[in-house]
Chains A and B, each alone.
Chain A
Amino acid sequence: MKKLITGLTLAATMAAGAAFAADYPEKAVTLVIPYGPGGASDLAGRALSESAKPYLGQPVTVVNKPGAGGMNGARFVTESDADGYTLLLARVGMALTPAVNPQASVDWDAYTFVGALEATPMILAVKSDAPYETVKDLTDAVTESGGRMAYAASGATSIDGFTVQTLLSDAGLDPLTAATLVPYKGGGALATALLGGHVDFLAISAGSLMPHIESGDMKALMVFAPSRMDNLPDVPTASELGYEQAGQVTGWSALYAPKDLPADVVAKWQGVLEQVATDETWLTLAERRGSISTVGSIDMPAYAKAQYELFNGLAKKFGYIPE
């Protein structure tokens, strides 16, 4: 309770102090999270909302608008006024979905890119009693099984589907038929499927798997991230193992806004993000989620474009969309 009161007072004083700084923001800012509550993106959004409040001088209200691979929330934001009061917690899905699904309602570049937030590594895991110690063991077993081995993912063309499919493709297997995809919704359900032994392996976001790896119920074979994870120093990355396509797949969050956001609003938010980058709350919360803060270290428009092209290329190669 004491912490609560201190936090609130702190926020209140900061808000009062920042009020004269600029006209924007005059009221609460809505941050749309295009996925359901409780997941990795929701936690990232709520962490940002809490960390940004004192620097922004106004509360940041979080709204979950899940559905259609993140496109439902994204569309809501792109159709909102570009006044800086409706922002989007973008995920890799904002670049991936339009790249792989012609029916997607929002293109990858239909936004103002405010800035990058975090990288969220993905982990390739099997049950701890499985007879595979390395990725090679696993891919060999997949080859031998003739397609009978199953992996869990959020959908064929979702990010955690692509993690496995790029790995299979890199290992010289058919990404679509070498192993069987079993779709589940949400990180919790995916992890349960592996824990219960209903699927053989999966490669999903670190946040949903770390507890089970720490408790010894699952084994991490590989991480999908630019560098090794602090918590798993012995687990190699996909690039280290020479998996070229898999090495480029990873999760991330960024802050997007409707197109043509006024320059002063963008500047205001970039200032806020700069302060958030060193904010203790933000960094602690990021660490607990198993993600790495990337605020200010990535050129977002270029990165989003590269991601779009990566997944578009993969979707064509794998046969999800015509060449």
Chain B
Amino acid sequence: MLNDILMALQAVATLENLLIMIAGIWGGVIIGAIPGMTGTMAVTLALPFTFYMDPVPSILMLVALYKGSTYGGSVSAILIKTPGTASAACTALDGYPLAQQGKAGKALNMALYSSVTGDFISNLSLIFLAAPLAILALRVGPPEYFMLMLFALTTVAGVSGNSLLLGLVSAAMGLLLATAGEDIYGSFRFAFTEDMQAGLSVAPVLIGLFALPELIKMIVMRAAPDNETAKLGDQKVSRAEFMRSFKSILRGSSIGVIMGAIPGIGPSAAAFFSYGEAQRSSKNGKNFGKGELEGIAASESANNGACGATMIPLLALGVPGDVITGVMLGAFMIQGLTPGPLLFQTNIHEIYMLFIGMLFSSVLLFGAGKLTMRMFSYVAHIPQTLLTPTVLLLCLFGIYSISSSMFDVTVLLIMGCVGFGMFLLNIPAAPFLIAFILGPMIEDNLRRALAISRGEPGILLSSPITWVFAALIIFVVTLTVRREIHKAKERKGEVA
């Protein structure tokens, strides 16, 4: 076996492979950092190139793009409050306030360190725990899935800002909007126009809700935010600060790995889950949303922690968990390799090469992140009056090119106005987005579970996994209600 590994190391450690991975990671980081361009887009575009490449480099390139773009989303989330990818939505909650306090460099570094840690742990889990995690993942059927996602939705309570009530309203709006389009049985809901039959995509809703309101605020209020981002400097994350968040990073990485291993969940839900969890259990929980480094750590370690882990069901079972691993499955098939348990017998050499390459790529992610951070730090010097229209311009082109759709662009602009309206009414945007992404997973699995049980609701509490999450949901809801009552009493005290 050692011999095998050494041979694989020799095969994978070529200049060519290194260059491919650097290109993949760095390209991914930049694409992820540009609002309106997504990781899925990057991976899909790179697919045709793999037709002419050897199997291992082509997969490594796709993985590198995926990881890079997942990290890259945090750069724009911190610097301009616009998550480049949905999985960085929670990063913006703490990252942007930090940037406004003149600590953008610190925030960016923290995002990078936690991403790389999450990524590394994810790779190790893929290498050593693929088989048991895959078996666990297969046990997650519709009822377990439903409970798990319902629990993830409780994160909404943590990202609601001052008013839980308005956070819940925002979440209800997100859940409702997510039902538009074709449902799993094939009937159309809220299909006012033919375009609506396909429903709304995540990218235009995300960008519209987060990026455009900043522009409209600039147009209407014309008050430049207290922006000190210019002082990016070299604000290092001190050892003490890193250690303080270390628990959240480890927890976030584990959440990322487990959620990534379950087909169909992906980095966004993992990041929301981890953020909510960290906020509840951390000593610094109260500062979350006001510029807490630990919040960034929780969110970023989880989304990158999920990246490598999404390869677990792909490699161990041969099933893709999301669109990106779906594209990777295509790349494998084109190369004549069939992912699945057989691959470990027939192509163990390629598997080792892939694993070694992925470990390399964690290091490369660190380098690419550092470089990109410097490049993008100049963004902070651009006056808001020019920056926000430029972001709009990038979003217009990026969103259009995802699926050549003017409807998506229209959705983008309308969601921008909706987002501004919500800002005026003090309704927070993050719960909307979280609910929009989790909503279909919750509803679809509820309907599947009830179809399997022929309408018997008992199926929702039919296995140990569902009991655990049901208990957690009850615990969190009780905790939140008690905190709200406490808050109300405090307010009364102030008045009196």
A186 to B121, CA, bound (A): 29
In the complex with contacts A68-B181, A198-B452, A189-B198 CB distance below 8 A: no
Tell which of B51, B53, B198 touches A50, judged by Cβ atoms closer than 8 Å. B51
B340 in contact with A211 (CB, 8 Å): yes
Q: Does B188 lie at the interface of the complex (its beta carbon under 8 Å from any beta carbon of A)?
A: yes
Chain B residue at minimum C-beta to C-beta distance from A30: B404
B320 in contact with A212 (CB, 8 Å): no
Chain B residue at minimum C-beta to C-beta distance from A284: B336
In the complex with contacts A67-B198, A211-B338, A191-B319 CB distance below 8 A: yes
Q: Looking at chain B's contact residues, is the secondary structure mostly helix, strand, loop, or mixed?
A: helix
Q: Does A43 lie at the interface of the complex (its beta carbon under 8 Å from any beta carbon of B)?
A: yes
Chain A residues with CB under 8 A of B324 = 38
Tell which of B53, B141, B323, B329 touches A196, judged by Cβ atoms closer than 8 Å. B141
A155 in contact with B403 (CB, 8 Å): no
Give chain A nearest CB distance to B59 CB in angstroms: 14
B54 in contact with A36 (CB, 8 Å): no
A215 in contact with B448 (CB, 8 Å): no
Per-residue CB contact flags for chain A residues 48-75 toward chain B (1 = under 8 Å, else 0) read 0110000000000011111111011001
* Stretch in A13-21, A175-183, A221-229 touching the partner: A175-183
Tell which of A8, A38, A49, A285 touches B320, judged by Cβ atoms closer than 8 Å. A38
Q: Does B330 lie at the interface of the complex (its beta carbon under 8 Å from any beta carbon of A)?
A: yes
Chain A residue at minimum C-beta to C-beta distance from B40: A37
Q: Does B411 lie at the interface of the complex (its beta carbon under 8 Å from any beta carbon of A)?
A: no
A196 to B263, CA, bound (A): 11
User: What total of chain B residues lie within 8 Å of the partner, measured CB to CB?
Assistant: 63
Tell which of B185, B263, B451 touches A189, judged by Cβ atoms closer than 8 Å. B263
Chain B residues with CB under 8 A of A30 = 404
Tell which of A43, A157, A214 touches B330, judged by Cβ atoms closer than 8 Å. A43
* Stretch in B42-50, B95-103, B266-274 touching the partner: B42-50
In the complex with contacts A189-B263, A215-B340, A155-B404 CB distance below 8 A: no
A29 to B255, CA, bound (A): 44
In the complex with contacts A76-B404, A103-B188, A184-B448, A3-B326 CB distance below 8 A: no
Give chain A nearest CB distance to B325 CB in angstroms: 8
A150 to B321, CA, bound (A): 22
Counting contact residues on chain A (CB < 8 A from B), the size range is: 35 or more
Chain A residues with CB under 8 A of B410 = none
In the complex with contacts A1-B16, A68-B197, A199-B452, A188-B184 CB distance below 8 A: no
Q: Does B237 lie at the interface of the complex (its beta carbon under 8 Å from any beta carbon of A)?
A: no
Chain B residues with CB under 8 A of A198 = 141-142, 448, 452
In the complex with contacts A37-B326, A189-B263, A69-B448 CB distance below 8 A: no
Give chain B nearest CB distance to A125 CB in angstroms: 13
B residues 442-494 with Cβ under 8 Å of A?
444, 447-448, 451-452, 454
Chain A interfacial positions (CB closer than 8 Å to B):
1, 3-4, 6-8, 30, 32, 36-39, 42-43, 46-47, 49-50, 62-69, 71-72, 75-76, 101, 103, 105, 147-148, 150, 154-158, 180-186, 188-189, 191-193, 195-199, 207, 210-212, 214-215, 217, 281, 285, 288-289
Contact sample, A vs B, 27 pairs, CB 8 Å cutoff: A6-B52, A7-B51, A36-B323, A42-B327, A43-B334, A47-B334, A50-B51, A64-B44, A64-B403, A65-B405, A66-B198, A67-B181, A68-B197, A72-B197, A76-B405, A148-B454, A155-B186, A157-B186, A184-B184, A191-B319, A192-B263, A211-B339, A211-B342, A212-B318, A215-B340, A215-B342, A217-B340
What are the 10 tightest A-B residue pairs by CB atom distance, in nearest-first order?
Answer: A67-B198, A38-B326, A155-B186, A68-B197, A7-B52, A183-B184, A4-B52, A196-B138, A72-B198, A198-B141
Chain B interfacial positions (CB closer than 8 Å to A):
16, 20, 40, 43-44, 47-49, 51-54, 57, 138-142, 181-182, 184-186, 188, 191, 194-195, 197-199, 263-264, 313, 317-321, 323-330, 333-334, 336, 338-342, 403-405, 444, 447-448, 451-452, 454
